[in-house]
Homo-oligomer: A and B are copies of this chain.
Amino acid sequence: MAARDLRIRRVAIDTWRESVAYLHRDCESVRAAGFQALSKVTVRANGLSIAAVLNVVDDAGIVQPGELGLSEDAFVRLGLAAGSAASVAPAEPPDSLPALHRKIAGERLGREDFHAIVADIAAARYTKIELAAFVVATNGYDLEREEVLFLTEAMIDAGRRLDWQQAVRGGPVVDKHCIGGIPGNRTSMLVVPIVTAHGMLCPKTSSRAITSPAGTADTMEVLAEVEMPFERLQQIVRATNGCLAWGGTAGLSPADDILISVERPLGIDSPGQMVASILSKKIAAGSTHLVLDIPVGPSAKVRSMPAAQRLRKLFEYVATHLNLQLDVMITDGSQPIGHGIGPVLEARDVMRVLRNDPAGPADLREKALRLAGRVIEFDPDVRGGDGWRIARDILESGRALAQMEAIIDAQGRRAAPPPLGALTHEVAAARDGHVAAIDNLQLARIARLAGAPQVPGAGVDLLRKVGDRVQAGDTLYRIHACYPADAGFARDLAGHDSGYRVADATPESR
C-alpha cells in the first residue's frame, strides 16, 4: 500500500538529524490519506526502510513528481545512490507510542517499555515532536531511579558495545567524565596522559561541542586527528594505553545522540537523561571504572550541594546495578576553568600545563591532578590517598607530556594547527574593585558567537579570574575571532553583558 517507482534524489538541505522526505505536490502519493505536510512516512528501498517527515514541494527544480527527495540526513541514513527506486507509504506509528503516551500521562514504565521506546528512537522512527514529548515527560525527577536504570540498559542495548578485556586481562578500564557546563574545563586532555603514563588503560572517546564553545574532541583536533575507524582506535590504545578520540563514529549509544538533538535546543538536561546518557556511553565503550566530575555553582548545570548530592546518588544507583565502579567528585563550578575558552585557546592551556610552563593555568592543573589521582586510585596496587602525589610526579617529571606527544603522534599530528583568531576585542573593567563573579553561561555564549567551536581559533581568553583585583580600564578578557561578522556578534553580546561582576569588597573580605 505504497506509492512505488519513485526515484531517489538527494536534496542538499541539512535538516540536522530530522529525516525529511520531499515529494512534489503533483506526485500521486501526496494526495493520499495521511500525506499532508509534516505527516510521517516510511521510505522503503532495496530492503531498507527509514522514517521521515514529509514536506510537500511545488518546485520541480527541487523534486519532480516522479522523484522522492531526501534531506542530507535521510539520504545518508538510507545509504542508497541517487536514482535508486524507492516507495513511500504513510508511516505506521512506532510500536512504542502507547508506552510514550502512558509516560506522558505520568505512569511508571517497565523495562520492556523503555527497550521498545529506545529501539524506536534509535531506528529514527520518532519525529522531533515525539522526541520532545519523551524528553519532557521524563524530565526532572519524573523518572523513578529504577526507570533511569531501565533507560540506561535500553540505550546500551540499542548500540554497539566495546570490549577491552583481552587487553587488560581483568584489570580496570578507566575513564573520567564531567557532566559539562563549565567553559575551559579540559581536564580529560591532562588526565588521559597522566593515567595512561601510570600504565592504566583509558580509551577515551569524547563528544564534540553541541551548545558549548568546545568539546574535548574539538580541542584535541587542534593537535591531532580525532576521527578514525574503530580498528585504528584499537591499535592506538594497544600502542599507548589510551586515546583522545571523537566518539561519534563508534555508534555506542545512537538513541542518545538523537535525544540530545532535542534536549539541547530545549535547554533540558534532566538528571535521569543525563545519567542514562553518560553511563550508557561509558559502559558501551567498555569502561569498568569511572571518575565523574559534577561541578556546582550559580551558573553551572548543578546549582547547589543538595542537588549535586541527589544527582550523585542517582549516578551511583544506576552504576552499581550495571557493575560500573563509580567515584563521584563534586567540584567548584563557580567560574570557567583555565584561561582559554575555544579549541585553540584551550589546547594552548593544556599544553602549557603538560610542559609545566608557569603561564599554564593553576586551577586547570590542580583540578586535573585531583581527578587523575582518583583515577589512579582505582589501581589495586595504589594506597588510598596516594593518587594525587603519583599524578603530580608524572606531570612534573615530563612523563605526562611525553605520553601526550605519543598519543598525538599515534592519532596523527596536525601538520599545521589552526591559528588563533587575529581579530581581537578587549573587554575592560568599568570600575575599580575585584572580580566577584564570572557567568559560565554568558562567557560560553560570547565564545560561541565569536565562532567557537566551528572556527577553532575563535574564543575568549580570560585575563582575570574570580578574586583578582582590577582597576577601571584593565582588560578582563580578550575575544578572538577569524571573521568580521563573528567578531561583531561577539562584541555586541559582550557589550550588552560582559558576564563579569566587579564589586567593591576586597577579595580578602569574602
> Taking beta carbons and an 8 Å cutoff, which residues of A are in contact with B?
1, 3, 11-18, 22, 25, 28-29, 31-34, 36-38, 40, 55-59, 61-62, 72, 90, 97, 101, 104-106, 127-133, 135-137, 139-140, 261-262, 265-268, 448-451, 454-455, 483, 485-486, 488-490, 492-493
Question: Which of these, B58, B127, B137, B492, contacts A265 with CB under 8 Å?
Answer: B127
With A16-B37, A38-B16, A139-B105 already in contact, the answer to whether A31 and B133 are too (CB < 8 A) is no
Question: Which of these, B265, B451, B455, contacts A38 with CB under 8 Å?
Answer: B265
- In the complex, how many angstroms separate the beta carbon of A197 from the nearest chain B beta carbon? 37
Report the separation of the CA atoms of residues A34 and B247 in the bound assembly, to the nearest whole angstrom: 23
Contacts of A101 in B (CB 8 A): 267
Contacts of A128 in B (CB 8 A): 128-129, 132
Q: Are B1 and A492 in contact (CB under 8 A)?
A: yes
Q: Are A57 and B454 in contact (CB under 8 A)?
A: no
Q: Are B140 and A262 in contact (CB under 8 A)?
A: no
Beta-carbon nearest neighbor of A100 in chain B? B266
With A15-B55, A56-B13, A136-B104 already in contact, the answer to whether A266 and B129 are too (CB < 8 A) is yes
Q: Are A58 and B14 in contact (CB under 8 A)?
A: yes
Report the separation of the CA atoms of residues A54 and B506 in the bound assembly, to the nearest whole angstrom: 47
Beta-carbon nearest neighbor of A488 in chain B? B1
Report the separation of the CA atoms of residues A490 and B32 in the bound assembly, to the nearest whole angstrom: 10
Contacts of A32 in B (CB 8 A): 449, 451, 483, 485-486, 489
Q: Are A13 and B57 in contact (CB under 8 A)?
A: yes
Closest 5 A/B residue pairs (Cβ): A16-B37, A132-B132, A12-B59, A12-B58, A33-B449
Contacts of A139 in B (CB 8 A): 104-105
Report the separation of the CA atoms of residues A37 and B17 in the bound assembly, to the nearest whole angstrom: 9
With A101-B267, A485-B28 already in contact, the answer to whether A37 and B15 are too (CB < 8 A) is yes
Q: Are A133 and B266 in contact (CB under 8 A)?
A: yes
Report the separation of the CA atoms of residues A136 and B132 in the bound assembly, to the nearest whole angstrom: 9
With A129-B129, A448-B33, A483-B31 already in contact, the answer to whether A14 and B56 are too (CB < 8 A) is yes
- In the complex, how many angstroms separate the beta carbon of A493 from the nearest chain B beta carbon? 8
Contacts of A18 in B (CB 8 A): 38
Q: Are A129 and B262 in contact (CB under 8 A)?
A: yes
Q: Are B13 and A22 in contact (CB under 8 A)?
A: yes
- In the complex, how many angstroms separate the beta carbon of A57 from the nearest chain B beta carbon? 5
Beta-carbon nearest neighbor of A35 in chain B? B454
Question: Which of these, B57, B137, B261, contacts A14 with CB under 8 Å?
Answer: B57
Contacts of A40 in B (CB 8 A): 265
Beta-carbon nearest neighbor of A56 in chain B? B14
- In the complex, how many angstroms separate the beta carbon of A423 from the nearest chain B beta carbon? 13
Q: Are A104 and B140 in contact (CB under 8 A)?
A: yes
Report the separation of the CA atoms of residues A455 and B31 in the bound assembly, to the nearest whole angstrom: 8
If A16-B37, A16-B38, A28-B483 are given as contacts, then 14 extra A-B residue pairs at C-beta distance below 8 Å, sorted by A number, are A1-B489, A1-B493, A13-B62, A14-B58, A31-B483, A31-B485, A31-B486, A33-B489, A62-B62, A90-B449, A104-B140, A129-B129, A132-B132, A132-B136
Report the separation of the CA atoms of residues A105 and B135 in the bound assembly, to the nearest whole angstrom: 12
Report the separation of the CA atoms of residues A490 and B33 in the bound assembly, to the nearest whole angstrom: 9
Could you say which of A18, A25, A40 has the most chain B C-beta atoms within 10 Å of its C-beta? A18
With A14-B56, A267-B101 already in contact, the answer to whether A140 and B106 are too (CB < 8 A) is yes
- In the complex, how many angstroms separate the beta carbon of A328 from the nearest chain B beta carbon? 24
Could you say which of A15, A62, A489, A492 has the most chain B C-beta atoms within 10 Å of its C-beta? A489
Question: Which of these, B34, B137, B140, contacts A136 with CB under 8 Å?
Answer: B137
Could you say which of A33, A56, A97, A493 has the most chain B C-beta atoms within 10 Å of its C-beta? A33
Q: Are A485 and B29 in contact (CB under 8 A)?
A: yes
Contacts of A97 in B (CB 8 A): 267
Report the separation of the CA atoms of residues A57 and B137 in the bound assembly, to the nearest whole angstrom: 33
Report the separation of the CA atoms of residues A15 and B37 in the bound assembly, to the nearest whole angstrom: 6
